[in-house]
Amino acid sequence: MKIVLETIPVWDGLKKNDECFLCTLMKEAEKDALSYYLSSAIMTPEVRVETNTYGFCKNHFRMMAEANKPQVLSLIMDTYYDENNRLFYPDLDRLSQCRKPGAMKKLVDAFERDVREREKGCLVCTRMNDRLYRYCYTVASLFKEDPDFKKALTLSKGFCVDHTIALSRIAKDALSGDDLVGFCNLIFSLLRKSIERVQKDDLWMTQKYKSENKDKPWNGCEDAQKRAVYKLIGEGEVYDPIDNKKSRI
């Protein structure tokens, strides 16, 4: 499969010098995917089959509910409920008519199983995941092809923990041999260095609250506690992509 490189967004992301520019790009990808599913695109029958079949994870359903697009979201929910009813009404009818405690437990288990199965997959997460793959593939390819990129990457703040792992896994599709090993060495040493730096910044923030340090400079550590959190947990996370669940259509 030929992967189209995302050279421009990746270079632009790197130049921002954030703690993890993949997080920054993924937040944009999330915004784009949410805008797509909250647009007139949902009027097309194919897209409605997708929204009815897969829906969205709880996180992205919540974001859609808060996006203030009542007309589009009401249309999505109307037919999503139709599909829910087809799946859940038989469970609910059996549960409301059951008279035996043992049978009731089995029916509750069956209902919960159906609910959890229904919650699997998210169209927004899947779009984000597709983009994450292309971004990671591009970072690995540019590491090999573009010496300026390699130099800038070496001097960068690296990536959050999850995106470091994603990069190391996807890099094997773009690189091999010494290039692959060199790339993984670099991104893990960047993670090691950045964890150390972020913790040091966080420590300075703890010291700044002592009265003797009140008038000392912040040294760029005003948001150290937040960076300490996001280096670990990342932002713009993919929760539950659809991946190979296409057979559910």
Can you give the binding site for Zn ion, defined by CB under 5 A? 20, 22-23, 57, 60, 122, 124-125, 160, 163, 234, 239
- Cβ proximity to Zn ion: between 107 and 126 the closer is 126
Backbone angles phi, psi at 158, to 5 degrees: 80, -150
Q: Which is nearer to Zn ion, 93 or 196 (CB)?
A: 196
Q: Which is nearer to Zn ion, 60 or 157 (CB)?
A: 60
Output the smallest distance, CB 77 to Zn ion, in A.
Answer: 16
Output 73 or 122, the one with its CB closest to Zn ion.
122
In the complex, what is the shortest distance from the CB of residue 1 to Zn ion, in angstroms, rounded to a whole number?
A: 24
Q: How far apart are CA 133 and CA 100, in angstroms?
A: 51
Vertex 33: Cα angle to 28 and 36 (nearest 5): 125
In this structure, are residues 151 and 186 in contact, taking their beta carbons and an 8 Å threshold? no
Cα distance between the two ends of the chain: 24
Nearer to Zn ion, 67 or 110 (CB): 67
Q: How far is the CB of 91 from Zn ion (least distance, A)?
A: 25
- Rounded to a whole number of angstroms, the minimum distance from the CB of residue 86 to Zn ion is 23
Report in angstroms how near the CB of residue 232 gets to Zn ion at its nearest.
Answer: 10
Exposure pattern of 77-111 as b/e (b: 16+ CB <10 Å)? beebeeebeeebeebeeeeeeeeeeeeeeebeeeb
